[in-house]
């Protein structure tokens, strides 16, 4: 068979595969500046209080939705849980999953107006970090609010092709063993990103983990 005949035979397959290859956007291994702007918005709107003076951030992004469950960053898990009552655009979910198949390293590009420091796992044991545990009275009531927010971890950002909707996962795992993970759905209006809705993925109360179900 000559080369021309072989090319003619392969041509239909090339046109079939090309749209699939171009469907998603390329995923950069480097966290983009526009992602940091969304992280800032989430921190400011959902976590910062007047008492917070320092925020501890996990250096690496997370590539799973539930701790110790790597299979939670899959389309099957999304469909099973029915996040946001199934209202998320499919392509937004697909882009979010594609962007979070591997962790990425965060850099010092946050601008949420409070001091922050990167930590990795449980390696940070200095005095400032221990201040994240609130002072308690004998009856269990909190005496003073903690001045350190410990700690936040983010996923990479998933976006629609029009870049008018975004999806981010953020978790707050505290040193007392409690915490929660959230999916944050953002929409852009007049070039400004707004938090549209939030769904709880998991919670831990007094060491007992619960995965949210529809």
CA dihedral sign, ordered 78, 79, 80, 85? positive
For 1-91, list the strands marked E by DSSP: 54-58
On whether the CB atoms of residues 53 and 188 are closer than 8 A, the answer is no
Rg, the chain, Cα only = 21
Sites in the chain below the pLDDT cut of 50: 3-22, 125-140, 142-144, 213-214
Residues with Cβ within 8 Å of 150's Cβ and at least 6 positions away in sequence, in order, are 56, 129, 132, 174, 175
- Residue 1's pLDDT is 53
Helix (H/G/I), strand (E/B), else coil: 67: coil
Give the burial class of 23: count Cβ atoms within 10 A of its Cβ; 0-12 exposed, 13-18 middle, 19 or more buried: exposed
Residue 38 corresponds to which tokens in the numbers above?
A: 């969304």
Write the pLDDT tens digit of every residue in 29-49.
899 999 999 999 999 999 999
Is the omega angle on the peptide bond into residue 151 within 30 degrees of 0, that is, cis? yes
Residue with tokens 């909190």: 142
On whether the CB atoms of residues 214 and 77 are closer than 8 A, the answer is no
Global pTM value = 0.78
On whether the CB atoms of residues 80 and 93 are closer than 8 A, the answer is no
Domains of the chain, residue spans: 28-211
As a whole number of angstroms, the distance between CA 106 and CA 119 comes to 11
Q: What is the DSSP letter of 60?
A: B
- Give one word for 68, left, alpha or beta, with left for phi > 0 and alpha for psi -120 to 50: left
Write the pLDDT tens digit of every residue in 75-103.
999 999 999 999 999 999 999 999 999 99
């Amino acid at each position: 068979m000559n080369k021309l005949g072989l090319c003619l035979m392969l041509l239909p397959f090339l046109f079939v595969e090309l749209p699939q290859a171009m469907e998603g956007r390329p995923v950069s291994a480097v966290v983009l500046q526009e992602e940091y702007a969304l992280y800032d918005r989430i921190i400011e709107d959902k976590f910062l209080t007047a008492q917070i003076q320092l925020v501890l951030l996990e250096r690496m992004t997370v590539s799973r939705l539930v701790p110790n469950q790597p299979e939670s960053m899959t389309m099957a898990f999304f469909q099973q849980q029915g996040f946001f009552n199934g209202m998320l655009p499919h392509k937004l979910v697909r882009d979010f999953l594609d962007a979070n198949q591997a962790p990425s390293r965060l850099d010092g590009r946050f601008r949420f107006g409070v001091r922050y420091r990167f930590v990795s796992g449980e390696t940070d044991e200095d005095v400032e970090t221990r201040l994240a545990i609130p002072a308690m009275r004998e009856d269990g009531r909190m005496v003073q609010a903690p001045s350190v927010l410990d700690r936040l971890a983010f996923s990479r950002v998933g976006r629609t092709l029009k870049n008018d909707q975004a999806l981010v996962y953020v978790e707050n795992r505290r040193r007392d063993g409690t915490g929660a993970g959230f999916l944050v759905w953002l929409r852009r209006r007049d070039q400004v990103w707004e938090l549209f809705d939030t769904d709880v993925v998991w919670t831990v109360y007094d060491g007992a983990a619960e995965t949210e179900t529809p």
